[in-house]
Structures are given as C-alpha cells and as structure tokens.
C-alpha cells in the first residue's frame, strides 16, 4: 500500500557504505566519484554557487573522478542565454574545468536539461503508471486561492490534493479543458511515515512525511521541476555525490521519496553551509558584489578567490591559510566541511589577494599589471603601455598593492609626461609655512641632481641626504617634498628607485615645474 509508513532506507547498509566513501574512508567497492555543478542559467553566477562548484570540483579531482557541468534550464521564464556564457566563463576563470558538459561533450550528454525532456516525461509517466504520481488540472487561480485561505487560517500552505483521487481529478479536468488548460503532474506523497536523510555533512535528519504535500514534478509546459529533473539526470549521468546548498535540506524528504518511487539508489548527499552577507542573511545581490566577475574586475586574482572560497566552510587544519590548488585537491574531504554558515569576509579576501600578488611569478604579474594599466591609465598615455617601465616598476609596487585595481594609482606618474602639482599637497605639513624655503630647496635639489654622475637610486639618495644636511632640514622632509614634486603624489613607491626609473630629464623637469607651482 503506497501510503503506508515508509522507513527509508529499508536496509541502510548501502548508504553507509557511500557515506564512508564520502568521508574518505576505505571502502570495499572501488567507485568513480562523479560530481556535477548544476546551475540554472537565470543570471550571473553567484559566489555561493561557485563555492559549490569548487567543492564539487575538489571532490572529483581528489578521487580522480569527473566533474560535470549540467545546465538546469527548465524554467523557461527565467532563462537567460547570457547566463549560460557567464556560467562557463566563471568556471574557466577559476580553473574549474568540467570534464563533461555543454560544449565539452561526454558520454552522458546532452548536458542541457531542455534537451533531455523525453527522459523526464518518461519518468513522470512511469510514476503516474505506478500510481506514485497523478495529473493535476487545478488552475493557478484556484491554487492561489487555496493558499491564501490557508494562510488566513494560519495553516501551512499545501496543495489540497483535490486531484489526488479520481473524482476530484475528473471534475477539475472538465473545468480545465473547458478553459483550454493542460495538467501538471504531481507526486503522490504518502500520507504518513517518515524518511531519514543521511547527509554526509549533517548526519541523519528524520522528516515527517505527513507534513509534505503533493508537489509538482512536471509543469504544464511539459518541463520538469527541479525535483524530478535533477535526479533523473544524476541517475542517467552516474552522479555519485550531490553537493548543494543548505537551503535544499527542506526538500530532501521529497527527493528521498522520489528516489524510492523511481527505484534509484540515492547518491551521497551533502548540504553545504550557506554563505552569508555581512548582516548574517543569505548572500544576495543586495549585499553588493556577488558575482565572480565583479571580483575579477576589481582585481582579485583567480587563485586568491579559489583559495578563499575553498576556506569558506572547509579547513585543512588549525593554521593553514594559503593553500595551493594541488594541496586542496590532495586534502579535500567532505568530512572537514563545517555545518555552520559563513559570512563572506572581504577584508580577509583582500589580504589574501595581496599575499598572492606578492608571491606570484614576476613575469606573469608584469602581464597582469600591464593589461591593467592599458585599461586604467588616462587616454593620454600611449598604448600599449610601455612594457619596459612596467617590468621595472613591478617589484616596487607589488609589495604595496592588494588589488589590481590599485596598480594605476601607484604607478601612473611613471607613464605620464608631466604631473600635476597641488600647492598644499606639495608643501605638506613640513613646509606649509615656508613655501619660499621649499622653492629654494627644490632649486638646490635640481642643481645637485643635475650633477649626479650615475643616475641610479644609490647615488641619488646619497646626494639628497647630503643636501638635506647642507640645507639644514630633516631628510624625510626634503624627501617628501621631492616625492610630491616628482610623482605628484604623497604616497608612492620608494622615491629613489622611482626617480631612477623615471630618468633624470623628467625628474629635473618635474622638480622645476613644482618650484613654479609654489
């Protein structure tokens, strides 16, 4: 009898084997781990989704299995073609290359749900035939009314099961056909019993089936809902581990019932902790930047993002923060995924990005900086930006920059012919009340610098220090005056190295211009 109490799984041995596998324990039957990232192309990929993709990727790589991309485009109303591209580009940007997927191919394609409708219809038909699902002809207007009434009565909103039995369905169908409406297919949820979810991260949770309603598995447009589509595909694609956000836990009991009705052995299921915004609620657009692209544009490095995201809900041990891709793959286990949600801490990401910038291969960093400068420097600067200068300045500014977006402000003066001098900034605190002295000092600096034999930072520094003594000012005060004169800024890379790169001509010209600006 279909509606009798159900204890799932009947004999739990098999699930435990899979959980053991998920936890990295030894298991008797060798199996290939196959994970999938299955976003719906409705918008820009979100940081939380990418973190799920990352864990999917890590788990598959860890076990030498496959990481699959599948597009869940069953919601034709929210479908966005650009989103498809965004999904693939965001994965590529972080180096999470799927082994199978749309545009990649693979033995279990197609990897787009809209191209697999036969499978879902067949599954739905089978369920109807078995008596585990039925056609529902109720209008959405009626459904809304039912829901509204239930809410008014402070009852949990559930489908009232009008079409569950023959009589109601026939009546409902007559109305629908008169209005030219088609049916949906609903799952015939047992009226009571319980199901237990064995979650690789959360452990066991038992749900009361009586609280569930008869949910839709096939929509009136013929497309399946997530509940049907994902498991049909996971089964067909031999997915072994399902990783998804914690927000899916409430629908897990439905899925357990469905697996059973379809005769599918459930995969390992792991619900990942949510990523929260600063206010503690689920991360969303209103928290600001949530797409990987926004972070990339700001100048966060893919490797830093990878590292940071990998540590959102997982840790290697009690002290390791900087972890390479290879180490992540070698050590990742679901067992070490935490249960509690994590606030996305951009300050820490920023710090980490600085670490990656400082540790990066210099030639690579040069290219990054150069590309950034090509994009960010004012149009007056000829393109492509002088690679020779970039190469010489990289060692100076990589120590100072945490975001690629900051590169231009640290190095624009290297590329400009002249710089703008603001009188107050030039004088600063040290010279504020003696502009004339500052002018005189600049003149003497210019004269001395003209005499420096070799235009290198060491002799330049020696000369300037000596001059500070002669003039009777603190070296630091003189340097900061010259710094602003030469660079137009108060905060810059080391002065003498910068001057060396700038060349004598431009330095002298700028010092002269600065003196005039006083």
Partner RNA sequence: GGCGCCAUCGUCUAGAGGCCCAGGACGCCGCCCUUUCAAGGCGGAGAUCGCGGGUUCGAAUCCCGCUGGCGCUACCA
Query: Tokens in use for 274?
Result: 């949510």
Q: Which is nearer to RNA, 112 or 143 (CB)?
A: 143
* Catalytic-labelled residue, pool 154, 282, 285, 339: 285
Q: What are phi and psi of 95, to 5 degrees?
A: 75, 25
Nearest-10 crossing angle of helices 495-502, 457-471: 120
What is the DSSP track for 223-253? PBPHHHHHHHHHHHTT--EEEEEGGGGGGHH
Pairing of strands 34-37, 275-276: unpaired
Please report whether residue 81 would count as binding RNA according to CB under 7 A.
no
Q: Minimum Å distance from CB 320 to RNA?
A: 8
- Please, which of residues 152-171 interact with RNA by CB under 7 A? 154, 156-159
Please report whether residue 340 would count as binding RNA according to CB under 7 A.
yes
- Per-residue CA distances from 74 to 79, 80, 135, 250, 292 (Å): 8, 11, 19, 21, 24
Figure out which of the listed residues 80, 114, 315, 463 binds RNA, where binding follows CB under 7 A: 315
Q: Which is nearer to RNA, 317 or 326 (CB)?
A: 317
Q: Minimum Å distance from CB 345 to RNA?
A: 3
Give the count of residues interacting with RNA (CB under 7 A). Answer: 90
Figure out which of the listed residues 107, 280, 379, 388 binds RNA, where binding follows CB under 7 A: 280
Q: Which is nearer to RNA, 104 or 355 (CB)?
A: 355
DSSP H helices, 332-452, are 346-359, 362-376, 387-397, 407-415, 423-427, 435-451
Q: Minimum Å distance from CB 516 to RNA?
A: 23
Q: Which stretch binds RNA (CB under 7 A): 166-174, 260-268, 345-353, 500-508?
A: 345-353
Figure out which of the listed residues 35, 52, 66, 74 binds RNA, where binding follows CB under 7 A: 74
Please report whether residue 249 would count as binding RNA according to CB under 7 A.
yes
- Per-residue CA distances from 157 to 138, 153, 184, 190, 195 (Å): 15, 10, 18, 17, 21
Q: Which is nearer to RNA, 117 or 251 (CB)?
A: 251
- Please, which of residues 85-104 interact with RNA by CB under 7 A? none
Please report whether residue 307 would count as binding RNA according to CB under 7 A.
no
Please report whether residue 321 would count as binding RNA according to CB under 7 A.
yes
Q: Minimum Å distance from CB 306 to RNA?
A: 14
- Please, which of residues 370-389 interact with RNA by CB under 7 A? none
310-314: list long-range contacts, CB under 8 Å, 24+ apart: 310/54, 310/58, 312/51, 312/275, 312/342, 312/344, 313/51, 313/55, 313/272, 313/273, 313/275, 313/337, 313/338, 313/342, 314/55, 314/338
Q: Minimum Å distance from CB 362 to RNA?
A: 15
Figure out which of the listed residues 172, 492, 511, 514 binds RNA, where binding follows CB under 7 A: 492
Figure out which of the listed residues 334, 473, 480, 510 binds RNA, where binding follows CB under 7 A: 480
Please report whether residue 406 would count as binding RNA according to CB under 7 A.
no
Figure out which of the listed residues 174, 285, 339, 420 binds RNA, where binding follows CB under 7 A: 339
Q: Which is nearer to RNA, 1 or 340 (CB)?
A: 340
Figure out which of the listed residues 93, 191, 262, 342 binds RNA, where binding follows CB under 7 A: 342
Q: Which is nearer to RNA, 247 or 374 (CB)?
A: 247
Contact 356, 368 (CB under 8 A): no
Contact 328, 315 (CB under 8 A): no
Site string for RNA, 202-231 (x = CB under 7 A): xx-x-xx--x---xx--xxx-xxxx---x-
- 3-state secondary structure (DSSP) of residue 214: coil
Figure out which of the listed residues 273, 299, 439, 488 binds RNA, where binding follows CB under 7 A: 273
- 3-state secondary structure (DSSP) of residue 39: coil
Distance between CA 292 and CA 276 in Å, rounded? 16
Query: Tokens in use for 498?
Result: 């910068």
How many Cβ atoms from other residues are within 10 Å of residue 249's Cβ?
16
Distance between CA 189 and CA 174 in Å, rounded? 24
Please report whether residue 345 would count as binding RNA according to CB under 7 A.
yes
Q: Which is nearer to RNA, 34 or 255 (CB)?
A: 255
- Please, which of residues 415-454 interact with RNA by CB under 7 A? none
Site string for RNA, 109-128 (x = CB under 7 A): --------------------
Please report whether residue 36 would count as binding RNA according to CB under 7 A.
no
Please report whether residue 355 would count as binding RNA according to CB under 7 A.
yes
- Per-residue CA distances from 25 to 19, 20, 62 (Å): 9, 5, 13
Distance between CA 397 and CA 378 in Å, rounded? 19
Nearest to 116 by CA among 176, 70, 81, 152: 70
Contact 213, 161 (CB under 8 A): yes
Figure out which of the listed residues 83, 123, 274, 403 binds RNA, where binding follows CB under 7 A: 274
What is the DSSP track for 105-162? B-TT---BGGG-HHHHHHHHHHHHHHTSEEEE---HHHHHHHHHHHHHTTPPP----G
Site string for RNA, 131-150 (x = CB under 7 A): -------xxx--x---x---
List, in order, residues 6 or more apart from 414 with CB less than 8 Å away: 389, 393, 498, 501, 502
Please report whether residue 80 would count as binding RNA according to CB under 7 A.
no
285 as an active site residue: the answer is yes
Contact 56, 243 (CB under 8 A): yes
Q: Minimum Å distance from CB 514 to RNA?
A: 16
Please report whether residue 497 would count as binding RNA according to CB under 7 A.
yes
Figure out which of the listed residues 496, 507, 511, 518 binds RNA, where binding follows CB under 7 A: 496
Q: Tell me which residues are annotated as active site.
A: 285
């Amino acid at each position: 009898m279909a509606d009798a109490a159900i204890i799932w799984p009947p004999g739990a041995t098999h699930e435990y084997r899979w959980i053991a596998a998920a936890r990295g324990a030894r298991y008797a039957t060798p199996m290939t781990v196959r994970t999938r990232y299955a976003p719906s192309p409705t918008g820009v990929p979100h940081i939380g989704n990418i973190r799920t993709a990352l864990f999917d990727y890590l788990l598959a790589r860890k076990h030498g299995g496959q990481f699959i991309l599948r597009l869940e485009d069953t919601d034709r109303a929210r479908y966005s073609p650009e989103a498809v591209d965004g999904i693939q580009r965001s994965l590529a940007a972080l180096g999470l290359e799927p082994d199978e997927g749309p545009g990649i191919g693979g033995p279990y394609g197609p990897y787009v749900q809209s191209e697999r409708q036969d499978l879902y219809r067949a599954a739905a038909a089978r369920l109807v035939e078995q008596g585990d699902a039925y056609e529902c002809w109720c209008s959405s207007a009626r459904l809304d009314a039912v829901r509204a009434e239930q809410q008014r009565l402070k009852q949990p909103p559930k489908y009232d099961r009008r079409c569950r039995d023959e009589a109601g369905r026939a009546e409902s169908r007559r109305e629908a056909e008169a209005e030219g409406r088609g049916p949906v297919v609903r799952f015939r949820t047992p009226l009571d019993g319980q199901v237990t979810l064995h979650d690789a991260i959360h452990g066991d949770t038992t749900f009361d089936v009586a609280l569930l309603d008869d949910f839709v598995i096939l929509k009136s447009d013929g497309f399946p809902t997530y509940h049907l589509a994902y498991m049909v595909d996971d089964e067909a694609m031999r997915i072994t581990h399902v990783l998804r956000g914690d927000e899916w836990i409430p629908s897990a009991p439905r899925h357990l019932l469905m697996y059973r009705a379809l005769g599918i052995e459930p995969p390992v299921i792991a619900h990942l902790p949510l990523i929260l915004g600063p206010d503690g609620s689920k991360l969303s657009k209103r928290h600001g930047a949530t797409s990987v692209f926004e972070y990339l544009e700001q100048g966060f490095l893919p490797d830093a993002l990878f590292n940071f995201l990998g540590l959102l809900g997982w840790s290697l041990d009690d002290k390791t923060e900087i972890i390479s891709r290879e180490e992540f793959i070698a050590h990742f286990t679901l067992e070490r995924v935490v249960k509690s949600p994590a606030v996305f801490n951009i300050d820490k990401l920023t710090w980490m990005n600085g670490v990656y910038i400082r540790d990066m291969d210099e030639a690579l960093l040069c290219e990054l900086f150069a590309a950034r400068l090509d994009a960010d420097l004012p149009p007056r600067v000829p393109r492509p930006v002088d690679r020779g200068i970039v190469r010489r300045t990289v060692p100076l500014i990589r120590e100072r920059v945490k975001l690629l977006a900051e590169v231009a402000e640290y190095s624009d003066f290297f590329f400009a012919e002249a710089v703008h001098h603001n009188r107050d900034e030039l004088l600063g605190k040290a010279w504020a009340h003696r502009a004339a002295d500052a002018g005189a000092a600049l003149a003497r600096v210019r004269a001395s610098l003209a005499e420096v034999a070799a235009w290198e930072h060491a002799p330049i520094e020696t000369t300037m220090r000596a001059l500070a003594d002669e003039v009777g000012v603190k070296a630091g005060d003189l340097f900061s005056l010259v710094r602003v004169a030469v660079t137009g800024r108060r905060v810059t890379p080391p002065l003498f190295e910068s001057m060396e790169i700038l060349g004598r001509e431009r330095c002298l010209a700028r010092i002269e211009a600065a003196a005039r600006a006083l």
